[in-house]
Each structure stands twice: as C-alpha cells, then as structure tokens.
Structure 1
C-alpha cells in the first residue's frame, strides 16, 4: 500500500498549485518531509522529478528543514542528470548559498560547501539548460563571498560561455561580472 505522501507526489503536476499542495503536506510533519526527500534523492524513482519540484518550494519557504539532509543532498547533487530535476536542485543550492550564515540558521560545513561548489562549477561547464546554469552562477556568486577564489574560476567560465546562451543568461552573467 502506497503512503499518502507518495500518492500526493504521484498525482502532482508541474502546475504551481499542485506543487504547493505537496510542499505544504511535506511541511506538516517530519515523516512526510523525509519521504519527499527520499523520493527526490532516489534518481531511479519514478517520481524523483516531481518530488524535486515540491522540495524546491519547501527549500524556498523553510530552508532550515533541509539541515538534517544536507550531507545527502550534497552527495546526490552530482548524480542528478534529468533537466527537470536539475533545475530545482540547482535552485535549492542557490537558497542554501544565500542562507549560509549563522543569522539565517544554515551553516554549511566546509565539506558541504566544497561539494556544492564542485557540483555547481560542473553545472556551469557542462551542457546544461540555461536555468540550471543561471542558478549555479548565482549560487557560486554567494559562495564566492566566503571563498574569493571562486570568482577567479567563475570569471572565465561566464565570459567564455555568455555568448552561447540567451539574452537573459547574458544579462545575468554581466550583472555577476560587475559585482565580482
């Protein structure tokens, strides 16, 4: 017999209202959240992508709930290949990078930061869709505030890659290059 969380994920769609419903159900208790994360992190699961869609919203609204799962997230991040899961996973990285300080209650370990940085740089240099690259670029900008060597890595990647992408990507690249 399938759990209620599984059924909600299985019945969800890409529509925002549907993703919000799953997100809110996951936030209600730790068992639901654990199951959502287990499905999202299992890249072979039939609902892996759908689970990541809702996990992105959980992260956006309640990033602290991800703290117990950060090591697992960092391990699974380089293994995500599906574009539809990669975009929300990379956006979660952005939320983590923005929140990475004591004040916000998220304090990534050095290993977690290193794993995120490595995965995000890989996303930038690989042939990924633009949205994942933009989120990776933005997340690396925030992580670069702590590790300024990231900016030296980021500059040539962004500069070389910018003209191969959309106007939106180019605008984001220019904005980040100005800030660095």
Structure 2
C-alpha cells in the first residue's frame, strides 16, 4: 500500500471501534505501514491526521513494538499535535509506553526509549495537562507523569501543584482522576 492509498483508506475510517480496528489490522499485518501512518498522523492540521492517530493507538495497544522503529519520529512530533481528536490517542499511546516502561519493565520498551524520549514525553504530558484539552488527554497525562516521576524527581512536586491548583475548576471526571493521582503522590 502506497502512502496515497493509505491516506485515502483513512478517509473511510470513522470514530467507530469497528472501522478503527479494521484499519489497525491492516497495519498489524503489514508493519512497514507504520512509518507512513505516522507521517499522516503528524500532519497536525489535516483532519485525516486524527484518523491516523486513532489507528496508531489501536496498533500500539495490540503490538507496541511495531512503533519502536519509528519511535524517534513519534516522540519528536507529539508536542505538535493539537486537534482534540488526535491529542487523546497520542496521549493514550504515551500512557501505554509509560506503563510498559515503568510497570511491566518490558525489555523491548526499555531498549527503545532513552532519557531524551522520556523527557519529550514528559514535556508533552505537562502541556496536555495544563492546556485546554479534554479530560481523557489530561487523565492519560496524569498517569504518564505519575510513572515518569519514578525516574525524574522534579515531576511529582510539579504534578501535585498543578493538580491541586486546577482541582476546583475541573470537571467531575478530572477531579476523580486528580484525586486518585494525588492519593498515589502522598
């Protein structure tokens, strides 16, 4: 499948799990398509990029290791994603990466991510947490930052301060995740 064919196929993906899974299965069966999928995902002003991010998330859930040959591209570009339908899946992928790295201590993930990658993910997560984004992206960022704080000492105090400052103005879902995160920080 060429880049253009992939781009055109993404036009038929909608928000339904069925369509996202179908496209993800195409990628899982041909992992060489990850690179062009990421290229489309990081054309951040193109609405099709959101669809590519959805498919990337489904792919990461099924086989995280397929992202590793392009991890530099992924980490380098996550900070530029700004459309809400794209931010949520990118934040989710970061959470999946951090859980794999810190909780599962997956060797493939440990080998793929270096300190520079972790610092870029940290920066993006803080941006999503304090920015004008939907709760899901903020929640995934809280989890990622909680885990990243195991490696970088300065993260937990900053995370605590942000959560406490924003708690009163947060939605019910934000408050619930913030309470859970703050409890783990104590």
Q: What TM-score do the two structures reach when normalised by structure 1?
A: 0.92
1:105 alignment counterpart: 108
Uncovered stretches (5+) of structure 2, i.e. residues with no partner:
none
Choose 4-13 or 83-92, whichever is displaced more: 4-13
List per-residue Cα deviations over 1:5-57 (Å, max 9, x = no partner): 33321111110000000100011113322222221122244411110011111
Q: Which residue, 143, 168, 175 being the options, matches 2:173?
A: 168
Tell me if structure 2 keeps the 8 A contact 1:5–1:26. no
2:183 alignment counterpart: 178
> Quick one: distance in 2 between partners of 1:31 and 1:50?
18
Q: What is the 5 A alignment of 1:30-179?
A: 30-100=31-101, 102-107=105-110, 108-179=113-184
> Quick one: distance in 2 between partners of 1:44 and 1:174?
34
> Quick one: distance in 2 between partners of 1:94 and 1:42?
22
**How many correspondences in the alignment?**
180
1:29 alignment counterpart: 30
Tell me if structure 1 keeps the 8 A contact 2:3–2:36. no
Q: What TM-score do the two structures reach when normalised by structure 2?
A: 0.90
Uncovered stretches (5+) of structure 1, i.e. residues with no partner:
none
> Quick one: distance in 1 between partners of 2:5 and 2:80?
27
Structure 1 residues 118 and 2, CA gap change in structure 2 (3 angstroms): closer
> Quick one: distance in 2 between partners of 1:46 and 1:167?
29
